[in-house]
Amino acid sequence: MKPNIFPGVLPWVRMKSFHAITGFRGTVTKLDNKKKTILLFFVLLFSLTGWSQQLSYAYDAAGNRVSRTIVVGAYHPSAEGPHDSSRFYVENIHGRELSIHVEREKPGLTIEVSSHDSLLEGTYTLSDKNDDLLTGDILSDRKTRVELEEVPPGTYTLHILVNDHSSEWELTKL
């Protein structure tokens, strides 16, 4: 007989609790229809969650990607979970990872460049459709906050320059 690692708790009580919590009494391959339906639902839910990112691509006639869009203000913080405080988009630019985080609490972005050092020279600019500069600054430290509270709803161009290599994004504020 195996030693009881939970003193005071009978072995059948522990096993019964395991079955009650997990719902599995046998192997995973023996799933009934209800469990298969639930499993299929969660697989589809996670797949749709991955596809629902607010990043869209536009293509020219040759099939080349010509623009990228970030939507700000598309989420309601009360509807999301507490751990989902921001969305982000990642791009490699000049051997560095560039992350753009979209904040949910208030309109804004955080631009983060991996392995930020003294050799990094970076700037960002936000301009409207007429190429009028709304805001811009130097990328400081690892994270740079871009405030969008004063920017009216509309479509803008976010241009990020890292060591003479650029990344351009279309930004839509709702």
Q: How far apart are CA 77 and CA 106, in angstroms?
A: 9
> Does 122 reside within a domain?
yes
More confident site: 94 or 151: 151
Strands 65-72 and 133-138, bridge-based pairing: unpaired
Residue 138 has which token pair? 């130097």
Sheet holding 55-59, edge to edge: 55-59, 65-72, 165-173, 154-162, 122-127, 133-138
Instruction: State pLDDT tens for residues 91-119.
Output: 888 778 888 888 877 888 999 888 767 77
Residues 41 and 73 in one domain: no
The whole-number pLDDT of residue 25 equals 56
> Does 5 reside within a domain?
no
- Indicate whether this model's pTM tops 0.75: no
Residues 81 and 129 in one domain: yes
Domain span including residue 20: 11-50
The whole-number pLDDT of residue 154 equals 92
Residues 80 and 22 in one domain: no
Residue 124 has pLDDT above 90, yes or no: yes
More confident site: 47 or 16: 47
Residue 141 has which token pair? 């430290």
The whole-number pLDDT of residue 58 equals 57
